[in-house]
Amino acid sequence: MRIVDLRKPDWKSDERLKYLASRGEILEEEYEKTVKEIIKRVREEGDKALIEFTERFDGIKLSPETLEVPYEELEKAYESIDKEVREALEVAEERIRVFHEKQLENSFFKEERGIILGQKVLPLEKVGVYVPGGKAAYPSTVLMNVVPASVAGVEEIIMVSPKPNPYTLAAAYIAGVNRVFQIGGAQAVAALAYGTETIPKVDKIVGPGNIYVALAKKLVFGAVDIDMIAGPSEVLVIADERANPKWVAADLLSQAEHDELAAAILITPSEKLAKEVVKAVKELLSSLERKEIAERSIEKFGTAFLVKDLFHACEVANYIAPEHLEVITKEPMALLPELKHAGAIFLGEYSTEPLGDYLLGPNHTLPTGRTARFFSPLGVYDFIKRSSVIYVAKEGFERVANYAEVLANAEGLTAHALAVKVRKDES
């Protein structure tokens, strides 16, 4: 983990900073040809291609009859997992549900003289949730992606996951998934986007995955909606001289263990703290089960930036626009107005990011790779659609018709103007 000094007027031109800011870019040229071919074959061949790719990439031999996990397996998994884990999942589900219920939107109508205008809010009918599987279990991802859809009122929630294990299936049962298919990768995204003989076509695909999944989501966008194109995980910690270096180091490593492409960044005005954190990271690394992954992540992207003061720290954080942003300072709330771009903001030394990952309530599906400048966390609003509602009576028509006709003629759209004029002439 290197220390970089940004206490200079042209700090935005720093090479390390630019390197970190660009790390979230998807390597499209390297992977796009393969992903396009997978999508094409699944679209044309349906289950046959899906089964072939599942065996090739995930080592699972399936048939059209075994693509779907029987629903009773979800209940069986729920009953079989450790009582402690089941209780933790239920607590997390409840907290996530309560938080997301605050995001519900209602239809509305407003009435003028002879005009009624409104907005009708409806849930999406069918949503596909991608949950990574294989070597690791991600029941928290199930809860974070399924619960908002459930709260929104989505009629059918379909989960895809390669080699789903009991924890993942139990979480699906708790959260209210309707159907589960044991498929993954770009082929699962293609199946959800276009449908096969067995997999239903959905209206939207949400959930994280590797670069193949992310690129597949990008390529099928338009045929279906997607939540966002998620890249490798990242955490940025703003800390002052009073922060506990061991706590900061542990928080940085909590993201570094995700992926060798994950980024762990410290921003501080204290050189002493920066050096202590770098030392603590080295010491804590040896105790990690995923030590090799975390080491590679820290070596590639681990950085402690030195800044002039905490307000400068906020400027740098806004430039990076991180997925997770922790503020471990004497008065963290005082910096909140200065922070513009972050997926989730954790204030105070006890607000460690993993609490948000699992059960506090706000969603952990967050924008990465600087996309927090324009994307938001996954929420209920991602699972609804809105229709405008317009009613115009004669009185209302007479109040606005002339203006509409004038504007139509100004744009040279004479048929638009005619549609208004014939009603004026015959009223």
Strands 263-268 and 204-206: unpaired
Q: Identify the three-state secondary structure at position 32.
A: helix
Q: Identify the three-state secondary structure at position 123.
A: strand
CA separation for the pair 158, 229 (Å, rounded): 19
CA separation for the pair 317, 4 (Å, rounded): 14
Beta bridge partners of 115: 112, 392
CA separation for the pair 144, 366 (Å, rounded): 10
100 is catalytic: no
DSSP state, residue 129: E
Q: Identify the three-state secondary structure at position 196.
A: coil
Q: Of 257, 258, 295, 324, which is the active-site residue?
A: 324
Beta bridge partners of 328: 239
Q: Identify the three-state secondary structure at position 240.
A: coil
DSSP state, residue 340: -
Q: Of 93, 323, 326, 405, which is the active-site residue?
A: 323
DSSP string, 274-304: HHHHHHHHHHHHTT-TTHHHHHHHHHHH-EE
Q: What residues contact 14, with CB distance under 8 A and at least 6 apart?
A: 4, 6, 8
- Known catalytic residues are 323-324
